[in-house]
Each structure stands twice: as structure tokens, then as C-alpha cells.
Amino acid sequence: MTQAASFSVTFSGGKLYGLSAGKPAGAPVLLLHGQVFTAATWKDLGTLAVLAENGARAVAVDLPGFGQSKAAKADPATLLAEIMPALVGDRPVIVAPSMSGRFLFPFMIRHAERLAGAVLVAPVGFERVASALRNVKLPVLIVWGDQDRVTPVGGANRLAACFAGARVVILRGARHPCYMDRPAEFHEALLAFIEATRSHIG
């Protein structure tokens, strides 16, 4: 099975830690995490291995105050712009579940051209930036569990309406962290989306 390597990256507020897998030349994928999860979640779920074994370079980072990353002063509006070049370079697909949308949304709004695509997994608080998201031109995959009690599944279509041609995948019987309940279906949708974005770029 593919092994994940640990790493650290310095930013203005200190150091962030995480895990990576896959060949350096692989299609870059940056995995963020939700409120009660960490980079290790993606290792334990098998996501890092699945991505690496399918040709991607997968990087999962502990956001400030989570996992091995100490709490630090970090502006959600600028953190990704600061750390992304060192982690995955330009044009990655970024996966943002739940609360990590607050890091990805500002980046999408300001720097969409630096992304290959965005995977939004039941992100909280998207309504606050919905009007700005309508100006974003970017391939988007929206994933939601139909048993989500944190951000009810009706939000999937409201979020999709912010983008032209967004794909929506509803995972049946899955809760808010829907990828935990339906990992095989989540991985299938993620791999198909990554392949589509690479074909679009190429």
C-alpha cells in the first residue's frame, strides 16, 4: 500500500504539518479538513493512497490549531495563497470539507486562475460569499450527504447555482462528513473530477 510521508511548511504564523503521497510529477491535489478532522483523516480513509495510486500527488495539511499544527495567527483569506506554492505549486484541485471552505472560498474568489478545480464538501457558511462566487470561473464538484444535519442537503443545489456547470454528487445515507460514510463513492467521484480537470487543462 502507498505510504504517506510527513512534512512541514513554514508560513508567516509558524509551521504547518501534513502528509503527502504520490509522485512529484502527479496531478496535484490539496486536501483540507473539517472541524473535528485532520490530515491524518485522509490517510486513515485511504484517500491519500487512492489518489497516489491513480497518478495524483496528494497533499493533506493540518490547518492552524489542528493535528500537529499549533494554533497560530492565520488569516483564512490569505493562508492558501501563502502556503500553496510550497505544497502543490499552481493549478491543484483543492478539496475543502465543511469549515475549511472559509479558507478556500477567498482563494477561489481572488485567484481562480491558480486552481485546476475545487471540490466543495458540504461547506458551511457559503451563503455569505455566494454573490462573489458567481463571478468564479472554475470547474467545481459539490459533494453532500443526504442525511447531513449540519448543513442540510438542500444547500447543494443553492451552492451549485453559484457556478456554471458545477457537478453535484449526493451520497445516500451519508451524514455531514459524507466521505467517511461513503468513501468508495466519494473516491470515485473525486478521481473522475480530477481526470476531467486535467483533460480540461491539457
Is 98 assigned a catalytic role?
yes
Q: Which of 20, 69, 148, 187 is catalytic?
A: 148
Residues 127 and 125: their CA atoms lie apart, in Å, by: 5
- Catalytic annotation on 33? no
> In this structure, what DSSP letter does residue 90 have?
S
C-alpha closest to that of 4 among 38, 55, 39: 39
Note the helical H segments in 98-166: 101-111, 130-133, 155-160
Coil, strand or helix: which one is 98?
helix
| Options 20, 62, 100, 176, the catalytic residue | 176
111 is catalytic: no
Q: Which of 20, 98, 100, 187 is catalytic?
A: 98
Task: Write the burial class of residue 183 (CB in 10 Å: 0-12 exposed, 13-18 middle, 19+ buried).
Answer: middle
Catalytic residues: 98, 148, 176
